[in-house]
Amino acid sequence: MSSSATLEIAPAALPNEAAAPSSPEALARKRHINWALKAILPIAAVLLNGLLLFILVSLSLAEGDRHIIISIATAGAVVICAAVIIVFSVSVRRPMVELQDKIARVRLGDLSASVSFADRNDEIGDLGRDFNAMVAQLKASREEIHHLHQTQMSRAEHLATLGEMAAGLAHEIRNPLAGIAGVIEIVSRDLPPQSAACAVIKDAKEEAIQINRILTDLLETARPKAPQFQVKDLGATVEHAVLFARQQAVTKRIAIEFDPGEEVPLVHHDPNQINQVLLNLLLNAIQAMDQPGTIRVLLQCDDDAVVISVTDEGKGISPEHLPNIFRPFFTTKGHGTGLGLSLARRIVETHGGTISATSSLGKGARFEVRLPIASPTK
């Protein structure tokens, strides 16, 4: 079974772990100036300036009265500062310390954390409600991702089992199929040219070839081969595929034009596998064209990649089907397995490239294969 990416969720942290200021951010917070000091300094400055102004105004009073008034004013200023500090400590500092603690727990993976001041009817309460809602959404998202991951893992195991079964059946079927094809070939040689059975023999040959192609696709999908990379001229690989496809297109009066481009650099690729990709695209283009026409194959350089485009004049692909054409077993034909384009995409991605398709219904389709240019070190 092929390996699949997994999403790792951090385990829930214990409360005492969240309180440990071991991260650089926590140490930086410890070095910050205390919030109460920063809040009280402007208030203390205003009160001190007011007290100085009050002293200057009270100079005209008698000495004893002036000292009493200044003492009362100073005591009032101290009481005001203390009251402000207490109010800030209760209404601001405690919620902020609690919020920092809950954020630390969330960072460690504990999504059961919530703040207790969310029921306040002020801006601090709004902050608490937003935080609790955010954590609840994160928890729901994590549970959904975990469920999807389990579903994908189960599906992958199921598909792997089916793939092994299909590969085994394909291997067992190909052996007798080769014998049947050989017998058909021998019988066709012994038949006189005027025999009515010649047409039946021809159809039998084509069906045997089609069955063999389907079995080959199944084997390639279930047991992919590692590419044998070579730094070679991609134009020669494309031309080889075009020459073979022309033999299939001649009976439908379809022309295949190949433009090799100019000064296309070498590409690091497996010629056999890329030839398989291009043959699949060309044969699909031939099958999509019910009338005589032209299939155009263009090879060109685009930045750091070489682009192979295959454009046909067929019936095109409907918009609702276009996003699904590279999925395994998806097909709109009356025959075939729907593995050709899926296998082509896997081969191209193994080469570090991409494959894409565009189409207008009734105006044909265009497939593009982008392969990276070989670097000097390869």
Per-residue pLDDT of the chain (378 residues; tens, 9 = 90+): 333 333 333 343 433 443 444 455 444 444 555 555 655 666 667 667 766 766 666 666 666 666 777 777 777 777 777 777 777 766 777 888 888 899 999 988 888 889 988 888 878 888 889 999 999 999 999 999 988 888 888 877 776 776 677 767 776 777 787 788 888 888 878 778 777 777 788 778 778 877 877 777 777 766 667 888 888 889 899 999 999 888 888 878 899 999 988 888 888 899 989 998 999 899 889 988 888 899 999 999 888 889 999 999 988 888 888 888 888 777 776 666 677 888 889 899 999 999 999 998 888 999 999 998 876 554
Compute the distance between CA of residue 219 and CA of residue 200 in angstroms, rounded to an integer. 29
CB-based burial label for 257 (10 Å; 0-12, 13-18, 19+): exposed
Is residue 374 left, alpha or beta, with left meaning phi > 0 and alpha meaning psi from -120 to 50?
beta
User: How does strand 293-302 pair with strand 254-259?
Assistant: parallel
Distance CA 124, CA 95 (A): 8
Residue 324 in contact with residue 330, Cβ under 8 Å?
yes
What is the rounded CA–CA span in Å between residue 107 and residue 23?
11
Domain 230-372 homologous superfamily, CATH:
Histidine kinase-like ATPase, C-terminal domain (3.30.565.10)
